[in-house]
Amino acid sequence: MSSDSTISIVWIYPDLLSTYGDRGNLLILARRAALRGLPVRTLEVRSDQPLPTNADIYLLGGGEDGPQALAAQRLIADGGLHRAVAQGSVVFAVCAGYQLLGGAFFAKGTQYAGLDLLDFRSDRGPTRAVGELGGPIDPRLGLPPLTGFENHGGRTHLGPGVSPLARVSTGIGNDGTTEGAWRGKLLGTYSHGPALSRNPAIADLLLRWATGYDSLPPLDDTWSDRLRAERMAATAAS
């Protein structure tokens, strides 16, 4: 955590990367920290503002092709996220934001340089991947299965320096086999928008990474549990 004991969470460029409920991840992290009595400060940084480098958690959302390309250019020029990651900050990225973490991505038919924070590259797939996305998460993370919704035209090819977040049992994810990626305290997924609403255990993982605590007191997750059960039953039935 930063100098004081407050967990600071930065939502990067909501003016560019906020396509569909991306704010949810910020709200969910803040709430789950607050319910544990952990002080939280949230900050939304627009693309014409410098990115602070001393926050604990950085969030990247989804976006259309144009804004995604613009976000990449500004983040590379700003350099703040690279410095924050070098200092051990946590990054959680979804959809277009996830693609930004890799070495390259495609937008509007052109290849753009990514932030190169994780060892993968994205290109265009033969079809758009739209629908439920799910599967068992890397056992080293000790989390229950991923469940979410994806909507993207990209395919992501992981290099040896990064691990898939999950194996795909429903949907496409990276390439129909693996989904998402993680290394150190950086985690990305094609489960778009408010991905943490269906995966509160990932929210808690990010908070543990940010605080260094091995465990956090459990919360009443009745409604999340019902939502997860209902979604997993629906995808198993179809």
Partner 1 sequence: MPLRAKVASSVSRTAAALSRAAGRGDGSVIGGWIGLKIDPDLLAHLAAGRAIALISGTNGKTTTTRLAAAAVGVLGPVATNGFGANMPTGHTSALAKAGQTPYAVLEVDEHYLAKVLAATEPRVVALLNLSRDQLDRAKEVAMMAQLWRTALAEHPSVHVVANADDPMVVWAAAGSPAVTWFSAGQRWHDDSWVCPECGSPIERQADQWWCTGCSLRRPVPQWVVEDDGVVDPRGAWHKISLQLPGRVNLGNAATALAVAAQFGVRPTDAVSRLSTVASVAGRYAQVVRDGRNIRLLLAKNPASWLEAFDMADAAPTLLSINARDPDGLDTSWLFDVDFSPLRGRQVLITGDRAYDLAVRLEVNGVPFQHVRTFVEAVKLVPPGRLEVIANYTAFQDIRAELDRVL
Q: Which residues are annotated as a binding site for substrate?
A: 128
User: What is the H or E stretch that residue 202 is in?
Assistant: helix 200-211
Minimum CB distance to partner 1, residue 144 (Å): 15
Minimum CB distance to partner 1 smaller for 14 or for 103: 14
Residues 71 and 223: their CA atoms lie apart, in Å, by 34
Point out which residues bind partner 1 (CB under 8 A).
15-16, 18-24, 27-28, 31, 46-48, 64, 66-67, 70, 130-131, 149, 151, 192-194, 197-198, 223-224, 226-227, 230
Q: Catalytic pick from 82, 95, 152, 157?
A: 95
Beta strands 110-113 and 104-107: pairing type?
Answer: antiparallel
Minimum CB distance to partner 1, residue 22 (Å): 8
Minimum CB distance to partner 1, residue 223 (Å): 4
User: Residue 122 forms beta bridges with which residues?
Assistant: 156
DSSP 133-187: EEE-B-GGG--PPEEEEEEEEEEEEE-TTSB-SEE-SBS-TTTSSEE-EEETTEE
Minimum CB distance to partner 1 smaller for 64 or for 86: 64
82 among known catalytic residues: no
Two tokens, residue 210: 């940010």
User: What is the H or E stretch that residue 29 is in?
Assistant: helix 23-35
Minimum CB distance to partner 1, residue 197 (Å): 5
Minimum CB distance to partner 1 smaller for 178 or for 224: 224
Minimum CB distance to partner 1 smaller for 113 or for 227: 227
152 among known catalytic residues: no
Residues 18 and 64: their CA atoms lie apart, in Å, by 9
Residues 197 and 75: their CA atoms lie apart, in Å, by 27
Q: Looking at the annotation, which residues are catalytic?
A: 95, 192
